[in-house]
């Protein structure tokens, strides 16, 4: 099983619980799991993260392989299905929600997960009645795409951040 990381998994980790200086093991773990083909992300997520002028943007620039292209036919076809679904739901959403969702990386992340049978990793939560914006878990559920949060991923892949001698 492969896991595709949403931008918020990187940002939340950096800003809160796995600061790059305090817990470098988390960031090494991501690279290790990428090396074993367990985790990845997509190029549009990298583009979002590189807009910053911080250590995360530098880290993303230093590890371009972690962020896969989405130009393959299968991902493109899945993206079309997502566009059609989102458009069909526009009537119940806030004005501009469709455009906001489709202009970002989220639909491409879901499309890549659909095309490769991967699980999306995000900190967004499912809210059936949301009308402000399209949420990754809601769209994933509509297509039968698995999703989870970072902590579930760490547990599933048995991550251990242990101090030397610990």
pLDDT in tens, 1-17: 899 999 999 999 999 99
Q: How confident is the model over 15-66, as pLDDT tens digits?
A: 999 999 999 999 999 999 999 999 999 999 999 999 989 999 999 999 999 9
Greatest mean pLDDT among 20-29, 95-104, 130-139 lies in 20-29
Q: Is the pLDDT of residue 95 over 90?
A: no
pLDDT higher than threshold 80 for residue 130: no
**Res. 128: pLDDT tops 90:** no
Residue 166 has pLDDT above 70, yes or no: no
DSSP state of 13: I
> What local confidence, expressed as pLDDT, does residue 31 receive?
98
Confidence grade of residue 132 (pLDDT, cut at 50, 70, 90): confident
- What is the edge-to-edge ordering of all strands in the sheet holding 39-42? 67-68, 39-42, 3-5, 119-121, 147-148
Contact 133, 94 (CB under 8 A): yes
The reported pLDDT for the residue numbered 96 is 86
Burial label for 145, CB within 10 Å (0-12, 13-18, 19+), is: buried
Q: What is the pLDDT of residue 163?
A: 82
- pLDDT-derived band at 127 (thresholds 50, 70, 90) equals confident
Question: Domains, the chain, ranges and CATH?
Answer: 3-156 (3.40.50.1010)
How far apart (Å, rounded) are the C-alpha atoms in residues 81 and 44?
Answer: 19
């Amino acid at each position: 099983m492969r896991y595709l990381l949403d931008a918020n998994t990187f940002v939340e980790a950096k800003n809160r619980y796995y600061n790059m200086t305090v817990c470098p093991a988390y960031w090494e773990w991501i690279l290790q799991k990428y090396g074993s083909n367990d985790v990845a992300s997509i190029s549009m997520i990298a583009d979002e993260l590189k807009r910053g002028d911080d250590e995360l943007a530098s880290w993303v620039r230093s590890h371009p392989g972690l962020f896969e292209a989405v130009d393959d036919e299968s991902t493109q076809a899945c993206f079309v299905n997502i566009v059609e679904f989102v458009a069909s739901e526009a009537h119940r959403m806030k004005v501009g929600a469709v455009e906001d969702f489709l202009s970002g990386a989220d639909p491409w992340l879901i499309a890549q997960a659909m095309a490769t049978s991967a699980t999306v990793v995000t900190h967004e939560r499912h809210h059936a009645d949301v009308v402000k914006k399209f949420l990754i878990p809601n769209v994933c559920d509509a297509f039968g795409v698995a999703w989870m949060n970072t902590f579930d991923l760490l547990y599933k892949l048995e991550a251990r951040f242990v101090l030397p001698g610990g």
